[in-house]
Amino acid sequence: KATLDFLKAGGRRIDTAITYHDQSGIGKALKDSGMAREQVFITSKVGPGFPLGYQDTLDQMAENLKQLDTAYVDLLLIHWPGPPGKSTDPACQSPNTNYTHCRLNTWSAMEKIFKDGTAHAIGVSNYEIDHLQEILKTPGLLHPAVNQVEFHPYWQERDLLSFCQQNNVTFNGYSPYAANDWAAYYHDWPHSLLNDTTVVRTAAAHRRSAAQVVLRWEYQLGLVVNPRSQNTDHMRENVNIFDFELSDEEMTAIGDIPKPPQHPKVFQDPHTIP
């Protein structure tokens, strides 16, 4: 229902993965919407929780298409640079995993998927500069179109953002509100970016919501942003950030918001993955 509501609210870009356990519902929502497939941009992923490696990646892609009930995805990402899981690929098998070779074998499968036409673009997610350079410095390999990374005022990898922009890799930020998907339900997340005084003051000045201000801040930095919501009103807000602009002073003030002492980063730090 959330996907169908999102499409009715004007959303046209959907981010999913096998591990989200929502792909069958997304496929059904797209059919129920009556929209043509080419009107909706679908991103899916391979791993984690499922093995990396050449054949395992091809097998996961086949399952993605089956669950989504589509002939292609618009963008396919390697979800994490590791761990590789219980892979059939020798380079990915523990205890002597060669992480670089495992990732490159996985990328070779991604290239095949792209050339076969079942993914119209390929990229990576949670890749740091060292992980990206494995692909960029290997002659003959296609470069990733996208790197999807956690990014918000509490966790700003400006060096990674600059590196991606310099190498024509679109920087796609997720978790823009600096909270996991369950924070709103359990009320125990240790901080709230959307209640930060700088964000609230800026939102009031523009007669916008705090969420819209954070999304606009990321957009003006050059990011493609992945907000998530099951609230229809919030969905409409999330796609309505293009008719106002933050000043340089406001951009700086939001970028200078101090990190909280607990959980400045929501998910695992990819720097820990060799």
Query: What is the distance between the alpha carbons of residues 49 and 59, in angstroms, rounded to a whole number?
Result: 14
Helices (H), ranges, 117-258: 129-136, 158-166, 183-186, 197-206, 210-220, 232-238, 248-255
What radius of gyration do the chain's Cα atoms show? 19
The H or E element that residue 43 is part of is strand 41-46
Instruction: Extract the tokens encoding 119.
Output: 């993914």
Instruction: Extract the tokens encoding 61.
Output: 């892609």
**Main-chain dihedrals φ then ψ at residue 48, nearest 5 degrees:** -80, 180
Query: What is the distance between the alpha carbons of residues 181 and 175, in angstroms, rounded to a whole number?
Result: 8
From the candidates 20, 72, 127, 154, give the one annotated as an active-site residue. Answer: 20
Instruction: Extract the tokens encoding 122.
Output: 């390929």
Query: What is the distance between the alpha carbons of residues 71 and 81, in angstroms, rounded to a whole number?
Result: 26
Closest CA to 97 of 107, 86, 108, 111: 86
Closest CA to 238 of 207, 215, 210, 218: 215
Q: Is 20 a catalytic residue?
A: yes
Report the amino acid identity of residue 203: A
Active site residues: 20
